[in-house]
Amino acid sequence: MGKTFEEVYCARNGTTATGFRRAVFWRCLHPGAVALAPLLFLSGYFALDRDLVAACGQARNFRQVCEELDDYRHSPRNRGLLRRRLNVRLSTTRLRQIARQYLDVSAVGGGRRATAQQANNAP
């Protein structure tokens, strides 16, 4: 079985698991959210986002990352004015781009959306 996203990232960047979670979180945070982030950390606002980074870190292939991103996108906890309108959340596009640099993407189905599209295109 292959290494996790977190393991590969840490090996290439000479960091720890904590360093991985911190670096990926800040790289994926929408720019407009950076100023509010320190205040919102105190309230636990970013728990969902931190859980996403941790879950993606345990992925052993890109498909698993895509599935985690789909779950995050559709989570009832990922609602509200701050998250949806003001983008005070992680960018799933950025997280996908980072994961793509570290994981094998050859076996990607693209997550739920691609699976549904494949099913619709099946004979």
Domain extent at residue 9: 5-121
> Hey, is 52 helix, strand or coil?
helix
Q: How many domains does the chain have?
A: 1
Can you say whether residue 87 is alpha, beta or left, with left for phi > 0 and alpha for psi between -120 and 50 degrees? left
Question: According to the model, what pLDDT value does residue 21 have?
Answer: 98
* DSSP category for residue 107: T
Rounded to an integer, the average pLDDT of 29-44 is: 92
Rounded CA-CA distance 56/4 in Å is 9
Could you read off the pLDDT of 67-123 as tens digits, one per residue?
A: 999 999 999 999 999 999 999 999 999 999 999 999 988 865 544 444 444 333 333
- Half-sphere exposure at residue 77, Cβ-oriented, CA atoms within 13 angstroms: 12
Is the CA virtual torsion 47, 51, 57, 61 positive or negative? negative
